[in-house]
Amino acid sequence: MKRSYPAPRLVLSAESLAGEMRAPRERLLEIGGRFQEPEALAVALSKALDAGAEGVLAAPSPALRAALAELDRTVPLFAVVPALRANEWLDLDPGVDALLARARRRAGPVTRFRMGWTGFWRASAFRRGDFAARMPGVLEGEAAVLPRRGVAGVVLRAALTDLALAGDHRRFFDGYVKFVHARFRASAALETANLGTLLERLVEWGIAPDFVVGPVNPPGLRMKPTLQHTLLQMARCDVPVVAKDLRAGGLVSLEEGARFALANGAYGLAPDLADVDDVTTELRKLRA
């Protein structure tokens, strides 16, 4: 199958800054404090690129955008969308309708026009409440907060991926990949907390996003439905897997987690800021 956009071999994840990573609270607060200033985050991102990372995996939050603006080099961004903090999710009904309404409230006239335009072309399905028809509008809303340069990929947040996965919504995934390619000219990727189940469905449906981001680690922590099933699907499925949660909540070292992931068919690695103490040294080791 022809692949339009290559998956990254190594990206630095900054999901912990949004409280999205399941790490000890103290560690998340420490990371939040350490990278509170955009300059500090900018330095870490720059070091990550120097150490061989191909970009940053993160929601395009104001803090991240400020850090990217500090740099006079382009940092490829694999943007996790929608860009919401963990506690912001609690205020929204699940699905895309609440996200769409939120995006409309925040959007300027151009973005609103674009959101309307995407809905117009899918008017019938949109009116029926179809997730697949409404998602492009959400992505248009998110586009407004993406940096003008350097968007290497759009990664759908696990909360939405897994909801559509539970609904067995083949058309949603198909439409998402096509829309991201056409609109952003960037990788269309999916983040999931149910890697084995998602890969199995993608094979069944014949749908190939550019890559999938999900937990891979030796103890099998958060590898759903089971460790063995996930490893089996990773071996069967052509879609590149970028492994996260490599340290399994601190049970193994980053190197051990990375070795396990790559040995079991992961294409790339996404260590988080919360996983590393010295960005340069630890990312260089992974790159080697």
Partner 1 sequence: MIETVTAAASAHRDGEGPKPLRPVRVAVAGLGRAGVAHAAVLSTIPGCDVVAVADPRGAARAAVRGMGFRARAFASVRKLLEREKPDAVFVCVAQHERARVAGAALEAGAAVLVERPMARTLEGAAELVRIAAAHQGPLACGHALAFQPVFAGAQRTVSEGVIGAVRQARSSMYLSRFFAPRRGRHRLDPAKVAGGVVAHFSSDLLLLLVRMMGEPREARATWNLLYGRVEDELHAMMTLANGVEVGFDTSWSVPGYPRSSTVIELEGEHGKLLVSDEALEIELEHPRMGLPAGATRVLESQLPQPARFDLGGEALYLQDASFLQWVTGGAQPPNDGATALVAHRVMDALYRSACADGITLRVRE
Contact set for partner 1, span 1-30 (CB under 8 A): 18-19, 22, 24-25, 28-29
Q: Applying CB under 8 A, which part among 75-83, 105-113, 181-189, 225-233 lies near partner 1?
A: 225-233
Instruction: Using CB under 8 A, pick the residue from 222, 237, 266, 283 that binds partner 1.
Output: 222
x/- map, 164-193, partner 1, by CB under 8 A = x-xxxx--x--------------------x
Q: Applying CB under 8 A, which part among 55-63, 146-154, 222-230, 265-273 lies near partner 1?
A: 222-230
Strands 77-81 and 268-269: unpaired
| Total of residues contacting partner 1 (CB under 8 A) | 52
**Of 112 and 224, which CB lies nearer to partner 1 in the complex structure?**
224
x/- map, 133-152, partner 1, by CB under 8 A = xx------------------
* Three-class HEC string of 162-211: HHHHHCCCHHHHHHHHHHHHHHHCCEEEEECCCHHHHHHHHHHHCCCCCE
Instruction: Using CB under 8 A, pick the residue from 106, 128, 149, 236 that binds partner 1.
Output: 128
Sign of CA dihedral 193, 196, 199, 204: negative
Contact set for partner 1, span 41-100 (CB under 8 A): 85-87, 90-97
Contact set for partner 1, span 236-275 (CB under 8 A): 248-251
**Of 94 and 116, which CB lies nearer to partner 1 in the complex structure?**
94
Q: Please tell me whether residue 157 binds partner 1 under the rule CB under 8 A.
A: no
Query: Which residues does 189 contact at the CB level (< 8 Å), separation at least 6?
Result: 7, 78, 153, 154, 155, 156, 209, 210, 211, 212, 213, 242
**Of 152 and 177, which CB lies nearer to partner 1 in the complex structure?**
177
**Of 172 and 179, which CB lies nearer to partner 1 in the complex structure?**
172
Residue closest to 158 by CA, chosen among 15, 269, 54, 10: 15
The 8-class DSSP code of residue 42 comes to H
* Three-class HEC string of 210-265: CEEEEECCCCCCCCCCCHHHHHHHHHHCCCCEEEECCCHHHCCCHHHHHHHHHHCC
| Per-position DSSP letters for 54-107, written without gaps between them | --EEE---HHHHHHHHH-SS---EEEEES---HHHHTTS-SSSHHHHHHHHHH-
x/- map, 192-211, partner 1, by CB under 8 A = -xx--x--------------
Instruction: Return the structure tokens found at 33.
Output: 């404090």
Instruction: Return the structure tokens found at 48.
Output: 């990550």
CB of 72 to partner 1, least distance (A): 32
Burial of 81 (0-12, 13-18, 19+ CB in 10 A): buried
Instruction: Using CB under 8 A, pick the residue from 110, 117, 219, 255 that binds partner 1.
Output: 219
The contact set with partner 1 (CB under 8 A) reads: 18-19, 22, 24-25, 28-29, 85-87, 90-97, 128-134, 159, 162-164, 166-169, 172, 193-194, 197, 219-229, 248-251
